Each structure stands twice: as structure tokens, then as C-alpha cells.
Chain A
């Protein structure tokens, strides 16, 4: 009953592995449909979200926090989609977007560059040079994006529970590893993990509601009690208060919503 995230470079066979794992375990598969869900939920065009999740932030975006806003929306939509478990997500940054959920099995599929280029050439009929340049550029964008947004390197193995190199091992081998690991105790859905997912969803929804105007606000939630960590100035802002009042009224899962000022937000805050 796990949540599985599969991170991959382009043409690393990660998609095929994800599809086979989902088929074998009877799980739902999520990829780019996440953007559709986010687009519907927050009324943002899909191509804007796609850009936010793919390209590294430019100089101006760093000041306007646009990536931060869209990432908060995407995270909120993803947590909502996976909260019930039995899901394989193989889109971008799943292991980072679902940070805070211990029962997520985080996998990275790698493949050597030459093999990836050969697959791209075969599938898209490009020249080898063109395919190499596209794949290397894509990898670089991924690296920059993850470094800028999450201050971490997507190639860092410690971000994952398992890194599988698909060159020597086959898709079937990878599927076997992932499905047997998914059924082990640390990744099973329990009452506690379900509660944690619901709490994370509340925190993400509160963050998404605030992020556009109050990007510095951070949120935690435990047993339905949400805590917003903000600056003194934000806490006295009328718009800030209105947003929180609306959330209290509209979100029945929020048991209590408090604002803390002048306190550093905990490391697990959204």
C-alpha cells in the first residue's frame, strides 16, 4: 500500500519501470496528469506549471518567487493525489515534493549516457549529436532546478531509498526490486501514515493559499492543528488574516489554525 516515487533522467527507461511496477502492484500511476490537477485546482495554465517544474529559475524569477508559488501549488495537488496511497509517481521531483512522508519509497533509475542517446536516436530519429546535446542540456536543467529550488543535487544517492542502474539490470529486475521493497514494513500504509499524509495535505493547502502574497510564511500540521510561522508584519496584515479565516471556515479538516511570529519555523515546515 505504498507511495512510490520514481525519479529518472530522460530516456533512462524509468517510465517503463514505473508503468510495470504500477501494473504489477495494481497501483495508480501519476505523471504529467499532476499538472492538469494543479491547473484545475489553482487556475494556472498548464504550460506555466510545466515551465516552473522544468526550467531553472532565471534572475528575475528569483525576486518574484514565481517558482516558489507554482511549486507550492504543485506540491499541494500531488499530496492530495497520493494521500490515499497505492500510487506510483514518476514525474519530476516526487522525492522532494513528498518530503516529510516517511512511508514513500523513493527510487532513482539511472542509465549510462550512451544508452540514453541511442534510445533517443531510435525513438525520435535525431542525429546522435542532436540527441546528445538535448539529453545533456535536459540533465543540466534538472540539476540547476533542483539546486536552486531545493538546494540539493538530484544525483545525490542519499535522497533515495534505492538507486538502480538499468544498464546491467533489466526493467524486470528493477520492477522486482521496487515491488518487493514496496511491500516491506517501512513503506506500508498504516493509520499513522494516513494521518501524516492528511496533515501534510493541510500544511500544503495552507501554504498554497498564502504563498502568493506571503511567500515567507511556513506551515506545519499535526493531528489537524496547523501552525503558521510568519513575520510580525505579515501576521497583522488584513489580507493574511482574511486568508486564514477563509481556510478555517472552508477546510473542515483543520482542527485549529494558529499563527506564530518571531519563531524560526521547524525544518519540516512546508
Chain B
């Protein structure tokens, strides 16, 4: 059965609507309540993990970019793993930004519902935009990321729940072999990325039918070393059929080194 993803800047309404939808459909829920378990499984500090999902990297908060990307990859990996179960309503974990083109996943964005928008609301929206761009190079407010965007300024939450629950019944949201494989590939890519980000940076992973392609950049002189490290770490991840590493020169650092 399908997977339902919610996204909203209004966390209170998102929580209410997601819980009501899950109750009506009898689906499991996946939200920030799972963070403690994720932190425990990956030996992460829970406050830092919560902070990483809220804010962009900051040296002042002792969250450098490398660590921040690793923390986010832990959440991504765990979420994708749990979404393979079906019958899940998920929100608050940024899944709408990395679960793309999976036909049995319905993505809903909830906007409005604040009444008069206040300064903190606007600030929160800006922060979310900054976060989504930094984490996934996608703008959270981009309607193209979603199947439906519902504005709660006029439409009541219970009506929104009604619309969503009736939609999920449509045959096109039933998981098919292709869409399941698609989600499994994304979960595999997330596992590989997570394993690599533990020690390396600048890693992009794509998987298709079990074939994993890792793209990375480095200085020319570090090429062999980096490729070998990727092959060694990624090779240990379960489920990989074939591994390919694509390397590109890091032009900025290369120019800096050669001008010395």
C-alpha cells in the first residue's frame, strides 16, 4: 500500500493533519519521534541531530558541514529504509526532498493556516528554504516537488484530510514492482552515501537496479587514494550488484594548490 509524505512550515498543523490522516487510514507514522532511535543506532548526539534537521551548518554551533551532511544522511538512510515497509505516513524528516519519482508515494505540501503571518513565521520559512537548498539543492516551496499543495487559509484541516485519504485510494498509488524497485534503489544509494560520508566528503550516489554509481571530486594527486577508499567502504554495503566510481577534478582546490 502507498506511502504518504507531508511537508509544511506550520509544524503544528502538519502534525495534526498527518496524525489524523494516519489514524483514518490505519497507517504507521514516521516523524521526528524516531530521531532518538536513529541517534542511538548511529551513535549520534540527539540534540545535534535535531539541530542538523533544523539549521544549516555552523561552526559556532559546532556543526561543521562534513558532520552536518553525515547527520542528515543518517536520517535519510533510516527514513528510506522504513518507507520500504509501505502503509506509512511520514513528515518532519525532509523525505519530500529525497523521495522523488516514486509512483506509490503521494507528496502533499500544506501551506497557510497561520491566520496573519507573523515575523517568526516568515523567518521560519526563510530558514527552511536555506536548509533545503543546502541539504538537497531543492527549494522546499517549489510546487513541482509535490503532487498536491493545499492552502489551509480557506480549506479546513478536516477537508484536507478528506481529500488526502480519498486520493491515496486511487489505483495509481498502489506499489508496483517498478516503483518498489525505485524506492529500493534510493534506499541503497542512501546506505552507500551514509557509509562514505562517515570519512569522506563531496560524495554523490545514484543507484539503479542494484548498480551503484558514486561521483566524487578531489585533487588530481588524491584521485587514486579517494577512489580506492570509496571502493573499499562502499563495497562492504549490502545489496550492491555493481559499483562504479566517477571522479572529477576539484577545480577550485586544484587551482589553489597549483598557484602556490
Interface of A with B (CB < 8 Å)? 102, 105, 108, 110, 112, 155-158, 160-165, 167-170, 173, 176-177, 180-181, 184-187
Report yes or no: B151 in contact with A157, Cβ–Cβ below 8 A: yes
Report yes or no: A186 in contact with B144, Cβ–Cβ below 8 A: no
Contacts A102-B154, A170-B172 given; does A181 touch B147 at CB 8 Å: no
Q: Which residues of chain B are near A186, meaning CB under 8 Å?
A: 154-156
Q: Which residues of chain B are near A187, meaning CB under 8 Å?
A: 154
Q: Which residues of chain A are near B153, meaning CB under 8 Å?
A: 161
Q: Which residues of chain B are near A163, meaning CB under 8 Å?
A: 143, 146, 148-149
Interface of B with A (CB < 8 Å)? 103, 106, 109, 111-112, 141, 143-144, 146-151, 153-156, 159, 162-163, 166-167, 170, 172-173
Task: Report which of B103, B149, B172 forms a contact with A162, defined as CB distance below 8 A.
Answer: B149
Chain B's nearest CB lies how many Å from the CB of A134? 20
Chain A's nearest CB lies how many Å from the CB of B171? 10
Report yes or no: B167 in contact with A110, Cβ–Cβ below 8 A: no
Q: Which residues of chain B are near A169, meaning CB under 8 Å?
A: 147-148, 167, 170, 172
Q: Which residues of chain A are near B106, meaning CB under 8 Å?
A: 168
Q: What is the CA–CA distance of A105 and B163 in the complex, to the nearest angstrom?
A: 15
Q: For the A-B complex with A161-B150, A163-B149 known, give 18 more contacts whose Cβ atoms are closer than 8 Å.
A: A102-B154, A108-B143, A110-B144, A158-B151, A161-B154, A161-B155, A163-B146, A163-B148, A165-B143, A165-B147, A165-B148, A168-B103, A169-B147, A177-B163, A180-B163, A181-B159, A184-B159, A186-B156
Task: Report which of B141, B151, B162 forms a contact with A161, defined as CB distance below 8 A.
Answer: B151
Report yes or no: A173 in contact with B167, Cβ–Cβ below 8 A: yes
Contacts A110-B144, A157-B141, A180-B163 given; does A168 touch B172 at CB 8 Å: yes
Q: What is the CA–CA distance of A110 and B142 in the complex, to the nearest angstrom?
A: 12
Report yes or no: B111 in contact with A162, Cβ–Cβ below 8 A: no
Q: Which residues of chain B are near A168, meaning CB under 8 Å?
A: 103, 106, 147, 172-173
Report yes or no: B151 in contact with A162, Cβ–Cβ below 8 A: yes
Q: Which residues of chain A are near B156, meaning CB under 8 Å?
A: 184-186
Report yes or no: B111 in contact with A157, Cβ–Cβ below 8 A: yes
Q: Which residues of chain A are near B146, meaning CB under 8 Å?
A: 163, 165
Q: Which 3 A-B pairs have the closest CB atoms?
A: A163-B149, A186-B154, A157-B149
Q: Is the interface of B mostly helix, strand, loop or mixed?
A: mixed
Contacts A163-B149, A170-B172, A181-B155 given; does A112 touch B166 at CB 8 Å: no
Instruction: Show 26 A/B contacts (Cβ-Cβ < 8 Å), sorted by A.
Output: A110-B143, A110-B144, A157-B141, A157-B143, A158-B111, A158-B151, A160-B149, A161-B150, A161-B151, A163-B148, A165-B144, A165-B147, A165-B148, A167-B147, A169-B170, A170-B172, A173-B167, A173-B170, A177-B163, A180-B159, A180-B162, A180-B163, A181-B159, A184-B155, A186-B155, A187-B154
Contacts A157-B109, A161-B151, A181-B155 given; does A176 touch B166 at CB 8 Å: yes
Q: Which residues of chain A are near B172, meaning CB under 8 Å?
A: 168-170
Q: Which residues of chain A are near B147, meaning CB under 8 Å?
A: 164-165, 167-169
Q: What is the CA–CA distance of A73 and B36 in the complex, to the nearest angstrom?
A: 60
Q: Which residues of chain A are near B112, meaning CB under 8 Å?
A: 158
Chain B's nearest CB lies how many Å from the CB of A181? 6
Chain B's nearest CB lies how many Å from the CB of A6? 14
Q: What is the CA–CA distance of A173 and B150 in the complex, to the nearest angstrom?
A: 15
Q: Which residues of chain B are near A177, meaning CB under 8 Å?
A: 148, 163, 167
Q: Which residues of chain A are near B173, meaning CB under 8 Å?
A: 168
Q: What is the CA–CA distance of A173 and B147 in the complex, to the nearest angstrom?
A: 11
CB-nearest residue of chain A to B172: A168
CB-nearest residue of chain A to B105: A168
Chain A's nearest CB lies how many Å from the CB of B21? 15
CB-nearest residue of chain B to A181: B155
Q: Which of B111, B141, B149 has the most CB of A within 10 A?
A: B149
Q: Which residues of chain B are near A184, meaning CB under 8 Å?
A: 155-156, 159
Q: What is the CA–CA distance of A164 and B144 in the complex, to the nearest angstrom?
A: 10
Q: Which residues of chain B are near A165, meaning CB under 8 Å?
A: 143-144, 146-148
Q: What is the CA–CA distance of A174 and B112 in the complex, to the nearest angstrom?
A: 21
Q: What is the CA–CA distance of A158 and B125 in the complex, to the nearest angstrom?
A: 12
Contacts A157-B141, A184-B159, A186-B154 given; does A162 touch B166 at CB 8 Å: no
Q: Which residues of chain B are near A108, meaning CB under 8 Å?
A: 143
CB-nearest residue of chain B to A187: B154
Chain A's nearest CB lies how many Å from the CB of B74? 29
Report yes or no: A164 in contact with B166, Cβ–Cβ below 8 A: no
CB-nearest residue of chain B to A108: B143
Chain B's nearest CB lies how many Å from the CB of A175? 12
Report yes or no: B163 in contact with A181, Cβ–Cβ below 8 A: yes
Report yes or no: B144 in contact with A112, Cβ–Cβ below 8 A: yes
CB-nearest residue of chain B to A112: B144
